[in-house]
Each structure stands twice: as structure tokens, then as C-alpha cells.
Amino acid sequence: MKNAFHTSLFVLMLTAPATLANGSEPKYVAVENWLKPAPDMETIGQAHGDVAVASNGDVYVSVGGARGGIQVFDSTGKYLRNVPNAPADFHGFVIHQEQAGEFIYGARLTGQSILKMQLDGRIVLSIAGSTIPPELVRVRNGMPSLRLTNVDVASDGRIFVVDGYSSDVIHCFDANGKYLDSFGGKEAPYGFKTCHKIAIDNRFDPPRILCCDRENRRVVHLSMDGEVLNVVKEMKRPAAVAVHGELAAIAEIEGRVSLLDKEGKTVLQLGANEVKAQTATNKVKPADWRTGILTAPHGLDFDSHGNLFVTEYNVYGRVVRYDLAK
């Protein structure tokens, strides 16, 4: 371990403290009532998970409850299906494009494993938590206690998973699931306090890992070997990150999404909720939801057009959509 669509569009009135390299300032519009739950459900169900968008525009959302697992919607928000074999405890997952096609990589919060699945649900790889050296795993009540919160995949196939609700250690595996290395944790030089979700940041050469260090209210840039490279402070409890083009979108569970440039400067903020009682809670009822205003962002992803999808921590299940204005 190293130290080193019946829809309405609402234009969001935003300020941009910084601009992109080409001098432009991106603008987004929030889309009202875009998501239509399965016909037998009023909402999509308990959400403490993630969202990812496939290359064809289909939106994948992990939920618990009656139709738990991964629900799939088309680009207009119509429910299509559940992914067979997808467990209901994918706290974090991504869709990764490879030579053989697109695959779901998911981190199981209670199942203590990482799964690689085809989009049709066939499991092609399962990495057991027991492959992680036991000295790197916290023990509770005499038992190993992994609480895996997110996973991402590097261009060379390496798989990175974070034990964000337990040890705050990031573990690395090769493309075949063989354990390679670990770094991070609660001790110096990292000092993580709920390293909630991570993402591979290919804006840099070589690429970096972005870590949402939630309870320290910061985003940490790491090298692929675990060296601390940069820290972005004063975030509103960052919970998840997704990268598209020049921007990294940070889901902040205290009711906001911030879009940052490579240096960590804020370019744009979306959905800021000034009602404190409505943020960082999963109890906000659908009657109190406001178009484009966030309550507890927990996961997010871009589609190929730059539109942004944000799933919230919410017992009813909510996915907020912002379209990139043309």
C-alpha cells in the first residue's frame, strides 16, 4: 500500500466565474418531468445509487425497492426494462466502452464484490472482496467489512474501486480481476473522510483519478499510482464526479452540481438549493421537487451530447436532467 416526452425546458440563470479554453460559457436547461417510471410504479423507487448513459443514449439507473437493480430508460425517459442479474446494491457503477463492446462495472455496497456485466445482464467477471489483502480491510464484529461505493476503469483495463464507507482505501485490479495494489485511506498523506466516489480523468496526460472526499468537503486529484497532485476545497460535500470534454461535474450532496475546469476552478453551478432542510436528505417528497433544483445529488453522468443526468439520494427515486443548450 502506497503512501505516496412531455417536457418543459427551464433556462437556468447561472453565473460563470471562469470560462473554457475556447472562451465559451456552457449553458444548460433543466428538463421537467422527463423520466417516466415503469407503468406499475409512481416513482422509480428507493435510490442510493448511480446513473450511467450508454452510447445509444439509454439511461441506466441503480435503485433498490420493489424493482431494484438497474432500470433502463430511453433518451426520452421511457422505461424499457431492468438489467437481468444486476443487484440492488450497486452504490456506484459505470458503463465502459471496450473493444468487445460496452460493459457495466458495478461496486456492491453490501455484497463486497465488483461485477462486470454486459448490457444484457450477462456477468462476465466477478471480483470477490476476499482477494484484497486482509490487512487493508477493516474488521467489524469479527468480520471483514468492505463497503464498496464506486468503481471506474482506466483505458488500459485496470479497475479501480473505493471502499468509501469503510477504510477509504482505493484498490486496483487488472482487467482480469487480479489484485494489483492499494492506496489512500484515513491516514496521512491522504486523510480521507468518506472517499465516496471516484472517476478516471482522461483530460490529463497521464490520466488522473478524481476522488470525492465527501466529509472533508474537497475533491482530490491523484496520479494513477496514488500520488496526491491537487486538492479542490470548499465543496458542498462532494459525492460523485463525471468527466466530459473540458469539464468535471461534481455532484454535491448538499444540493448542487459544480462544473470544474482542469485546474479545479468553478465554471458553472447547477441546481443550487437554498432550502437547507431539503438538502443532504433522502426524504424530500415528489410534491416538493422543483424543476432543476437539486436536493441530494448522489451520482451523475453525461451523454455523448454533453447533456447531464443526476440521480439523487431519495427514497422515492429521482433523476434530474440538464440539457446542454445549443
Residue 22 lies in a domain: yes
50-73 per-position pLDDT tens digit? 999 999 999 999 999 889 999 999
Residue 236: beta bridge partners? Answer: none
CA distance 22 to 296: 32
How far is it, in rounded angstroms, from Cα 279 to Cα 277?
Answer: 6
Q: Is residue 223 part of a domain?
A: yes
Q: Nearest to residue 218, comparing CAs of 241, 237, 201?
A: 237
pLDDT confidence of residue 293 = 98
The CATH number of residue 67's host domain is: 2.120.10.30
The pLDDT of residue 169 is above 90: yes
From 9-13, 95-99, 110-114, 302-306, the region with the lowest mean pLDDT: 9-13
Q: Is the per-residue pLDDT at 19 higher than 80? A: no
Note the pLDDT tens digit of each residue in 257-286: 999 999 999 999 999 999 999 999 999 999
> CA 59 to CA 48: how far, in whole Å?
16
Average pLDDT over residues 42-49: 97
Residue 290 has pLDDT above 80, yes or no: yes
Whether 49 is in a domain gets the answer yes
Q: For residues 145 and 131, is the Cβ–Cβ distance under 8 A?
A: no
Tell whether 257 is covered by a domain. yes
List beta partners, residue 220: 211, 231
Q: Tell me the pairing of strands 319-324 and 308-312.
A: antiparallel
Compute how many other C-beta atoms are within 10 angstroms of the C-beta atom of residue 180: 11
Q: What domain count does the chain have? A: 1
What sign does the dihedral 8-13-15-21 (CA atoms) show? positive
Closest to 300 measured CA to CA, from 63, 59, 105, 50: 50
Sign of the Cα torsion 26, 29, 30, 31 reads: negative
Note the pLDDT of residue 192: 98
Residue-number span of the structural domain to which 130 is assigned: 9-324
Does a structural domain hold residue 3?
no
Q: Is residue 280 in some structural domain?
A: yes
In a domain, 2, yes or no: no
Look at residues 167, 147, 181, 161 and name the one whose alpha carbon lies nearest to residue 106: 161
Considering only CA atoms, which of 30, 6, 26, 9 is closest in space to residue 273? 30
What pLDDT is stored for residue 9 in this prediction?
A: 40
pLDDT, position 279: 98
Do the domain assignments include residue 123? yes
Higher pLDDT, 21 or 111: 111
Percent over 90 (pLDDT), the chain: 89
DSSP state, residue 35: -
